[in-house]
Amino acid sequence: MGKERGGDIIIRDITIGQYYPAKSVLHSLDPRVKLAGTFLYIISLFIFESLSGYVLAGLILLLTIKASHVPFSYIVKGLKSVVFVMMFAVFFNVFFSHGQHQLVKYGVISITVEGIELACFMAIRLVYLILGSSLMTFTTTPNQLTDGLEKALAPLNRLKIPVHEIAMMMSIALRFIPILLEEADKIMKAQSARGADFETGNLMTRAKRLVPLLVPLFISAFRRANDLAMAMEARCYRGGEGRTKMKPLKYKRLDYVGYSLVASYLGIVFVIENYII
Interface with other proteins in residues 229-258 (CB under 8 A): 230-238, 242-248
Interface with other proteins in residues 204-233 (CB under 8 A): 224, 227-228, 230-233
Q: How far is the CB of 168 from other proteins (least distance, A)?
A: 9
Interface with other proteins in residues 153-192 (CB under 8 A): 171-172, 174-175, 178-179
Phi, psi of 71 (to 5 degrees): -60, 140
Q: How far is the CB of 273 from other proteins (least distance, A)?
A: 41
**66 touching other proteins, by CB under 8 A:** no
Q: How far is the CB of 38 from other proteins (least distance, A)?
A: 21
Other beta carbons within 10 Å of 66? 12
d(CA 229, CA 221): 12
Exposed/middle/buried for residue 135 (C-beta within 10 Å: 0-12, 13-18, 19+): buried
User: From residue 107 to residue 126, what is the string marking binding to other proteins with x (rule CB under 8 A)?
Assistant: --------------------
Choice between 237 and 270, CB closer to other proteins: 237
Amino acid letter, 21 = P
Q: Which stretches of 9-99 are assigned E, i.e. beta strand?
A: none
Helix (H, G, I), strand (E, B) or coil at 153: coil
Interface with other proteins in residues 131-150 (CB under 8 A): 141-143
The number of C-alpha atoms within 13 Å of 132 and in the hemisphere containing its C-beta is 23
Q: In 3D, which of 138, 133, 29 has the Cα closest to residue 74? A: 138
Give the footprint of other proteins on this chain (CB under 8 A). 141-143, 171-172, 174-175, 178-179, 224, 227-228, 230-238, 242-248
